[in-house]
Structures are given as structure tokens and as C-alpha cells.
Amino acid sequence: MKLSRLYSQVVRLGKACDPRGKAKVSHYEDTAILYGNTNADIKKIMVGIDIEVGELMLADSIRKSQGLDLVISHHPEGRAWARFYEVMQLQVDMLTKVGLEREVAQQLIDERMQEVARRVMPNNHMRSQDAARLLNMPFMCVHTPADNHAYNFIQCLMDKEKPDRLQDILEILKSIPEYKEADKNLAGPQIILGNPRRAAGKISVEMTGGTEGPRDVFDKIYKHGIRTLVCMHLSEEHFKKVKDANLNVVIAGHISSDTLGFNLLLDKIEKEEKFETISCSGFRRIRHHS
Ligand SMILES: [Zn+2]
């Protein structure tokens, strides 16, 4: 498979389960070919959640011993990291789906995007891309197209299973191999707000859209009937606001949810293309048969 073909497949499949609907999306700011010839033939890929200089050195050593054509980082690097917050725009549609007015949602997201932009500004965002260039190692990052898959999968599962209580959400999550594996390594799904026997009520799944959304949204989504959030992670500042809004929170797990989304995306690409994967940096290749 050509590198350019892999990129276009990733974007196409990401769009197919984007909360905004296909038509509104042309590309993802946090997904890019960072280094490499787009005509290169890709047969073996090393996939990791975070790829830094260390993983690229590892990849170079693997390339020497057994061959390797590409390294993919889930979390954005290079220019995709510098502007990743622009994908947060999709959270406007997620909030309007919950019931917020579009203008209110847009204003909240605009403010939060600017905050995240200021936070990203000082980062040394070209560091690992520079290492890839020096090693002549084809390098790519795939963020939101994978997270969209995790979001879609978990939201559909919750809609179908309709868990009664918070403990039922945990059980459903723990039946998924990525979360089962994380649980073995002491990073499984956890309830961080609410009693396990408390009613789950209406559930909102927050697993895509770049990073955590605005902090002043939780009382609003409570008013629109949401009672439980199922998310990848929650910052301490967000935690305080969620607690004040009286919402329940189930943390599915960060790296495990990232892994789930990436596996679902790779499953689809594998249906049409043949390639080998090597897992690293928290990622585990697990095939889902749907
Ligand atoms: Zn992540």
C-alpha cells in the first residue's frame, strides 16, 4: 500500500464515523504524513500511542534487523501537534447533539480552543519529526480518525446495552479486550464520581475532539438530561466542575481507549490492504471481528 493511499484511507474512514457527519470534514489538522515519500510502499508499520525520539531510535534498530517501512504515532507530532486543537471544532456538534444551542456551544469551544492553543505554543513540536528526518524514517500521526472510532464504538454500545447502573457501565467496558488488558495492568475503567449502584441515566461519551472540552459546560449538559460521562480522562480542573454539576464520571482509560480506536481503524484498513504491524509505546494490536 502506498503511503498516500494509507493517509487517504485514514481520513476517509475517520470521516465515516465523525460526529459532525461526513460532509463537513475535508481533513484532520492532527493527522498528517510528517516525513517520507508519499509513493513509498508500506508493508510493515510500527504503531505507538506516543512516538518520541526513543521510539524512532527503536524503529531504526528494528528496521536494520527485520525491515520497517513506517512509524505511526497516535498522538500528534510536528505541525499536526502545533495545530491539533483545531479539531476541537467537532465538539460544537457533539454539544448541540446533547441539546446546547449552537451559538452557546461555539462560544464555549472558541474560548477553550484559544486556551489550548496558548498551552501548545511553547512546545518543542518539531523534536520527533526532526529525529525522523535525520534517521530517514517515514513518520506519520493519526489522531482524530482513530478517536472517532473509539467514540462511535462506545456510544453505540451504550445506546444498545442501556446500562442501568454505573457498575453496569464498568462491566460492559471490561468485556472489551483493550479495557480487559488495561485492567490487568492496573489501568482499567474506573468510576471517579458516583456510587457503583447509582443509576447511570442518560450517558454522554467523550472520546474524540482533540482534547478535553470547556470546563463551563457540565452544568449545561446536566440541564439537558445527561447524568453520566464516559471519558478517556479528566483533568483535575474539569473534575471539580463535573463534581459541582453532580454528574457521574466513568473513566474508561486514556491509552486503552486510544488503542481501541486505533485497532478499529486498522481493522477496516486491513480489510482492503495487507500490511504487518509492530506494537509499541502502550499500543497493543488486537483484532475485532465485526
Ligand atoms: Zn490520547
Residue 43 CA to ligand 1 centre (angstroms): 25
Cell numbers that stand for 161 in this block:
446495552
| Sheet strands side by side (includes 248-251) | 190-193, 248-251, 226-231, 202-206
Question: What's the CA-to-centroid distance between 255 and ligand 1, angstroms?
Answer: 6
| 280 C-alpha to ligand 1 centroid (Å) | 15
For residue 65, report the distance from its CA to the centre of ligand 1, in Å.
30
| Dist. CA 136–CA 46, nearest whole Å | 15
Q: How far apart are CA 1 and CA 97, in angstroms?
A: 37
Structural domain spans, the chain: 3-143+257-280, 149-253
CA of 146 to the centre of ligand 1 (A): 10
Dist. CA 47–CA 227, nearest whole Å: 36
Q: Looking at residue 159, what DSSP letter applies?
A: H
Give me ligand 1 centre to Cα 137, in Å. 23
pTM of the predicted model as reported, rounded to 2 decimal places: 0.96
Alpha-carbon gap, residue 201 to 227, rounded angstroms: 5
Q: Report the separation in Å between the CA atom of 51 and the middle of ligand 1, taken as the mean of its atom positions.
A: 12
pLDDT at residue 290, rounded to an integer:
65
Q: What are the C-alpha distances in Å from 167 to residues 83, 171, 191, 197, 200?
A: 38, 6, 8, 6, 9
From ligand 1's centre to the CA of 80, what distance in Å? 14
E-strand ranges in 13-69 read 32-35, 44-48
Q: For residue 182, report the distance from its CA to the centre of ligand 1, in Å.
A: 15
Report phi then psi at 47, rounded to 5.
-115, 135
Q: Which CATH class is domain 149-253?
A: alpha beta
What distance in angstroms lies between residue 254's CA and the mean position of ligand 1's atoms? 6
- Going from the Cα of 258 to the center of ligand 1, the distance in angstroms, rounded, reads 5
The pLDDT score that the predictor gives to residue 24 is 75
Query: Could you count the other beta carbons within 10 Å of the beta carbon of residue 67?
Result: 10
**Ligand 1 center–CA 183 separation, angstroms:** 18
The gap from C-alpha 12 to its chain's centroid, in whole angstroms, comes to: 16
The answer to whether residues 196 and 166 touch, using CB atoms and an 8 Å cutoff, is: yes
Mean pLDDT by 10 residues, the chain (290 residues): 97 93 84 98 98 98 98 97 92 91 95 94 96 98 97 96 98 98 96 97 93 90 94 94 95 98 98 96 92
CA–centroid distance, 150 to ligand 1, in Å, is 11
The alpha carbon of 145 and the centre of ligand 1 are apart by a number of angstroms equal to 12
Say how many Å lie between the CA of residue 230 and the centre of ligand 1: 15
* Spatial distance between the Cα atoms of 73 and 144, rounded to a whole number of angstroms: 12
Q: How far is the CA of 205 from the centre of ligand 1 (A)?
A: 15
